[in-house]
């Protein structure tokens, strides 16, 4: 699969390495010019990609989305941004405003990049809670599994606030309770 990641920081870089190791083609959309063929402007990378992942600072999402809006139409778009302190953690409204026909999902936001780099705890895979359209579930679950997580679908894009509730719990445990960034959640059931 051709995956274009907007941003090459901790989250984008970690996801990109995992997907490359799983056999996907990955390129990064960045502001800085580079001779590296895996990097390019957001416009070039979004046009090339089958799936576009936003892993930029949350406050930058609307600006980046506006520059690539035409190339998001009809594509699976994953919002992995977080906007601590904002009324909502996710950026789905900004992405929908830029490209109303993009197929939006929310994933890779409920854990830190350290967990994305190593999602196993005592041999058990951590769960990754996500939301997105039912028709995108096969693609999303493959990408989640290729990073090493067990995917847990919460519902369609309208469930982004539910996913963000888990993100807030992660933030509280890590930053307020001091439990360390290598922390994840696991769903148990009979």
Reported as a single tens digit per residue, the pLDDT across 20-60 is 999 999 999 998 767 888 999 999 999 999 999 999 998 89
Domain edges within the chain: 2-176
Rounded to an integer, the average pLDDT of 95-102 is 96
Could you give the percent of the chain with pLDDT greater than 70? 99
Environment class of residue 106 by beta-carbon count within 10 Å: exposed (0-12), middle (13-18) or buried (19+)? buried
Q: What pTM does this model have?
A: 0.96
Half-sphere exposure (CA, 13 Å, Cβ side) for 74?
1
Pick the CATH number of 2-176 from 3.55.40.20, 3.30.530.20, 1.10.10.60, 3.40.50.720: 3.40.50.720
């Amino acid at each position: 699969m051709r995956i274009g990641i907007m941003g090459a920081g901790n989250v984008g870089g970690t996801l990109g390495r995992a997907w490359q190791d799983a056999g996907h083609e990955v390129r990064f959309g960045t502001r800085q010019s580079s001779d590296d063929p895996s990097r390019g402007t957001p416009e070039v990378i979004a046009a090339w990609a089958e799936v576009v992942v936003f892993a930029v600072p949350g406050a930058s999402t609307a600006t980046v989305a506006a520059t690539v809006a035409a190339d998001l139409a009809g594509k699976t778009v994953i919002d992995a941004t977080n906007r601590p302190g904002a009324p909502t953690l996710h950026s789905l409204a900004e992405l929908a405003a830029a490209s109303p026909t993009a197929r939006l999902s929310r994933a890779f936001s409920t854990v830190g990049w350290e967990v994305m780099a190593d999602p196993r705890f005592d041999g058990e895979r951590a769960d990754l809670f996500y939301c997105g359209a039912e028709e995108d579930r096969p693609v999303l679950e493959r990408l989640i599994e290729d990073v090493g997580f067990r995917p847990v679908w919460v519902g369609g894009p309208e469930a982004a606030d539910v996913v963000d509730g888990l993100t807030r719990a992660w933030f509280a445990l890590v930053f307020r309770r001091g439990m360390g960034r290598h922390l994840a959640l696991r769903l148990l059931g009979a």
